[in-house]
Structure 1
Amino acid sequence: MNEHPWRAPNRRPPVVLVPGFSGRTGEDFPFLLPMLERRHRVVSVDFTTPGVHTLGDLVSRIGVAVARCDEPPAVVGYSLGGVAAAAFAAQQPAALSSLAVVAGWMTPAPKLGAFAGLWAELQAERSAALAAAARQALYSADGWDSARPPLVDDIAARLVALGSTLDVSAMAPGIAVPTLVVGCASDEVATTWQSKLLFGAIADARYAQIDAGHAVVHERPAELLAVLGAFLTEPTRYPAGTLIGEDRP
C-alpha cells in the first residue's frame, strides 16, 4: 500500500484506489492516479503481497488503506478490486463516504470463467500466447490502438483465478453509501449485464456506461476520470437509480 501526499489547495475527500487483476495500483491507474492526486489525497491498495487468496483477504487489504485516511474516504475499485470494494462497503458502511465500482460484477459471468480457465491453461503451459490472449479479451476493437501488454505473472494468474469465484450477490443489497457503477459497453470479461445487475442491487446507486472494453482504465481514461471526478466531488448529484448519459458525466 502506498500513500500519496495532498496536492490540491482545496480540501476534498480522500480516495482509496483498489486495483484489478494486476494487483498493482500503478499498473491499473497510470492516468487516474496522478490526476486524482491533484485534487485528493490518494491511498493505494496493493494485492501483490503474500496471503491474498480469498475475498476476505482482499477486503482486509482495503480496510488497512481506509484506516490510513483521516476521514471516511471514497473507495474506487476497478474489476476484481471493484467487487472487493463492494464487499467492503457492505461489511463496513460507516467506514467510507462513497463507492465507485468500475467494470465490476455481481456474480462471475460464464465469460469470466472461460477467461480464467484459458489463462490458467496457458499459464501452466508457459505459453507465449498468454499475453496476446489476455489482451484480446481485455480490450475492445475500438480501443485496440491503446492496448498495452497486460501483466501475466504469477500474481495476476492468482488474482484472475480468484476473481472468477467472487460473488457479492448476497452482500450488494446491504451497501448503503452513495455508489457509482461504471459499466463498459464492450466488456468481454465482467460483461455489461453483470455491471447492471450490481447497479440494480444497490439502493443508492447510479450507473454510467463507457464505450470501452474491460480495460477501460487504459482505453478511455480521460472519460473515466470525468465520470469519477464528478461523482467524487458530489456523490448525490444524480439521484439513486439515475442512468448517467455520456454527455453529462
Structure 2
Amino acid sequence: MNKIAVGGAQVAYRVDGKGPGLVLVHGTGGNSEANWGHLIPALINDWTVVRPDYSGSGMTCDEGKPIEVKEMAAQIVAAAEAAGVIPFDLVGFSLGSAISIVIAADYPHLVRRVILLGPFLSSKDPRQKVQFELWRDLIRTDRLALSQLILLTGFSPTFISIQGNEGVSAIIDGFMSEINWEGMARQVELDLSIDVSEAARRIEKPTLVIGCSHDHIVPSSQVKSVAAAIRGAQYTELYTGHLAHVEKPEEFILLLRSFLLSSDD
C-alpha cells in the first residue's frame, strides 16, 4: 500500500503489474480492494494497474470535510502520477465513473481511453434522489438493512438465487465488515449533489459506456444518457445487476480488454 499527500488527505493506492497505466476508480461505499481486487490477476500482465482509495474509503485518511468531485479527481490523478503511469487508461464504476468523467474532461493530456461502468451524470432523477436519501438514512439507523438493500438492488435476481442462503449471508456480512460507513455517508452526500453533465460534454477521448440490464441502482436508461452526452461514446450492456464486475467478472474483463487493446488513441 502506497500513500501520497493531496490537499488535506493522505491518499492510499495500490500498484500491481507491468505495462501501460490502467487506473481503476471504485464506487460509493467501496474501496480499491473490495471493488477491484478479484480482477487484478487478469490485468497485471498487460497493464500497470493503479487502484486509489478516494476520501471516505479504504486506507485513505483526511480531515472529514464534505467530499467534492473535483477534489476526488485530483486525488486519483495524484496517485496515477506518483505511480508513474502517465498517460493512463481510466475505468470508473458508479460514483467512480462520475469522478472519471471529470478526470477525462479536466486532465485530457493524462488520459488515453475511458470505460464507465454503471455511470450517472447527476442525482436529479427523482428515483435516484429517493434511493440515495434512503441510503443516507439507513447508514445512520440500520446498516444491516442497507447491506440487504444493496444486495437486492446491486445484483440480478438470478445471481442472488444461485448463491444459496449461506452465500447470500456471506455477501451481506462482507458488506457489513468492509464498508467504511462514516466515509460512505460522506460519499452519499456527494451522490445527492453531483452533476458532471458539463464535464461529460467536454470529453474527447475514446469512451465505452457499460449499462446493466438488471441495474436497480443506476438503471440503463440513465446510463444511456451518459453515452449520449459524450461525443462518439460506444454503449454496450451486460446482463447483470449494478455490480457487473462482481457478478460476471469474465464478461466485464472481456469488454475491457477488447476496448482498451483495440481502440485507437
Q: Is the TM value for this pair above 0.5? A: yes
| Aligned residue pair count | 233
Equivalent position of 2:130 in the other structure: 114
Among 86, 91, 96, the residue aligned to 2:101: 86
1:4 matches 2:11 = no
Shift of 1:60: 1.1
Deviation readout 1:70-116 (Å, 9 max, x if unpaired): 43100111110011001111111111111111111122233322221
Matches within 5 A, 1:23-172: 23-47=30-54, 48=57, 49=60, 50-51=62-63, 53-67=67-81, 68-108=83-123, 109-144=125-160, 145=162, 148-149=171-172, 150=175, 151-152=178-179, 153-172=181-200
Seen in structure 2, the aligned counterparts of structure 1 residues 194 and 40 have a Cα distance that, compared at 3 Å, is same
1:211 matches 2:222 = no
Seen in structure 2, the aligned counterparts of structure 1 residues 170 and 130 have a Cα distance that, compared at 3 Å, is same
Where structure 1 has 5 or more consecutive residues not aligned to the other structure, the ranges are: 238-249
- Please provide the CA RMSD for this pair: 2.0
Q: Using the alignment, how far apart are the partners of 1:218 and 1:178 within structure 2?
A: 24
Deviation readout 1:9-33 (Å, 9 max, x if unpaired): xx4x310010001241110113222
Q: Using the alignment, how far apart are the partners of 1:185 and 1:64 within structure 2?
A: 34
Shift of 1:127: 4.8
Equivalent position of 2:257 in the other structure: 229
Shift of 1:4: 2.3
Seen in structure 2, the aligned counterparts of structure 1 residues 35 and 56 have a Cα distance that, compared at 3 Å, is same
Seen in structure 2, the aligned counterparts of structure 1 residues 203 and 81 have a Cα distance that, compared at 3 Å, is same
Seen in structure 2, the aligned counterparts of structure 1 residues 70 and 118 have a Cα distance that, compared at 3 Å, is closer
Q: Using the alignment, how far apart are the partners of 2:241 and 2:46 within structure 1?
A: 27
Q: Using the alignment, how far apart are the partners of 1:5 and 1:55 within structure 2?
A: 26
Aligned structure 1 segments of 4 or more residues deviating by more than 3 angstroms? none
Q: Using the alignment, how far apart are the partners of 1:139 and 1:45 within structure 2?
A: 24
Q: Using the alignment, how far apart are the partners of 1:64 and 1:71 within structure 2?
A: 10
SS at match of 1:30: helix
Q: TM-score, normalised by structure 2?
A: 0.81
Q: Using the alignment, how far apart are the partners of 1:164 and 1:38 within structure 2?
A: 38
Seen in structure 2, the aligned counterparts of structure 1 residues 111 and 37 have a Cα distance that, compared at 3 Å, is farther
- The residue type paired with residue 141 of structure 1 is P
Greater helix proportion? 2
Contact 1:111 1:189 in 2 (8 A): no
Percent of matched pairs sharing the same residue: 26
Equivalent position of 1:243 in the other structure: none
Contact 2:25 2:51 in 1 (8 A): yes
Greater strand proportion? 2
Deviation readout 1:42-92 (Å, 9 max, x if unpaired): 111102232561112211111112313343100111110011001111111
Q: Using the alignment, how far apart are the partners of 2:183 and 2:219 within structure 1?
A: 23
Contact 1:23 1:155 in 2 (8 A): no
Contact 1:26 1:33 in 2 (8 A): no
- The residue type paired with residue 100 of structure 1 is I
Contact 2:48 2:85 in 1 (8 A): no
Contact 1:105 1:198 in 2 (8 A): yes
Q: Using the alignment, how far apart are the partners of 1:38 and 1:110 within structure 2?
A: 43
Q: TM-score, normalised by structure 1?
A: 0.86
